[in-house]
Copies of this chain bind each other. A is one copy, B any other.
């Protein structure tokens, strides 16, 4: 694929870390929530993948914006937007929550942080959830305040994130459980830090509100991190597909519902909480889904995807579309995530596809990949 550059402008917002990361070998950007998201460096994707699995990386994921919903009706509004029952949500915990519309179509899949009973942060994927929340709140006359706070997340990911973060924030940060968050001090400034992140290699996300302190922390992470072989990084396509971390807009979108995407455990239809699309989801559940997200393995040693690729059966019928794929060093094949039509989603089913004029084939598998 030809390299095409990104045209910068204020509309594609820079982050506080942009000038630093561009001096650290950044080679590619994506755009996420109207903000620049680092997407590649002067090292290969595969080298960065191995580094992430062995060492520690600092990621500028400020594009993962927060929607802050506060006020007396905040819990009611947050619950209205997600099919996950949040009635027992605890302060200091993160919750992965599909956000759906009244037709059960996915609008986003944020991690929801319960700051307290009257304040929630939705750490969002790439869509303007704030506009959905505002529209609902205005229409329902909810007593809430909805803003995008000044929060720019730094992710520290990889197995050596634990000793690195311990060295900066002390032993207590290692007590944080997965998807827990708390406040930790850096040179007199408190930072909200969660044990979370968009890799399965372990790590933390630092929700930086104090930009000046965040920049000092950024530099300190690279300084202190030398002994742990720290490098700048970004969400890694190989690692995230191998780990089956779904990407809104890539693998799933508003034309899909949570039951088609395997989010059954985040769909709580039996409790009495009120959320959009609940009746629709009950109907879908009783009638059965019409398409299903599955893993695929393809007999190729490389792939570049910029749009869906049709998957076809022996009679040339389209049975599914592949939405993300990458060559996996672990499986020594291309692995991908694809949506299959009913009833063509059996594990082991073979399909054909054409990529850049080349015909090849693959088989359906479960996600996570094993």
Interface, chain A (partner B; CB < 8 A): 1-14, 18, 22, 26-31, 34, 39-40, 101-102, 107, 126-129, 131-141, 247-250, 276, 304-308, 323-324
Contacts and interface: CB of A to CB of B under 8 A. Distances in A.
A324 B10 CA distance: 7
Given A135-B139, A138-B276, A28 B7 contact: yes
A31 B28 contact: no
Nearest to A134: B101
Contacts of A18: 306
A307 B8 CA distance: 8
Nearest to A251: B10
B8 A306 contact: yes
Contacts of A249: 10-11, 34
27 contacts: A2-B22, A3-B5, A5-B28, A5-B29, A5-B40, A6-B6, A7-B30, A7-B39, A7-B40, A9-B247, A9-B305, A9-B306, A10-B324, A11-B249, A31-B31, A34-B126, A34-B127, A34-B249, A102-B138, A128-B128, A134-B135, A135-B135, A135-B136, A136-B136, A136-B139, A139-B139, A139-B141
A306 B1 CA distance: 26
Contact of A131 (B3, B14, B39, B132): B132
Q: Which of A28, A40, A136, A248 has the most CB of B within 10 A?
A: A136
A308 B8 CA distance: 12
A10 B126 CA distance: 12
A137 B307 CA distance: 31
Given A3-B5, A22-B4, A10 B305 contact: yes
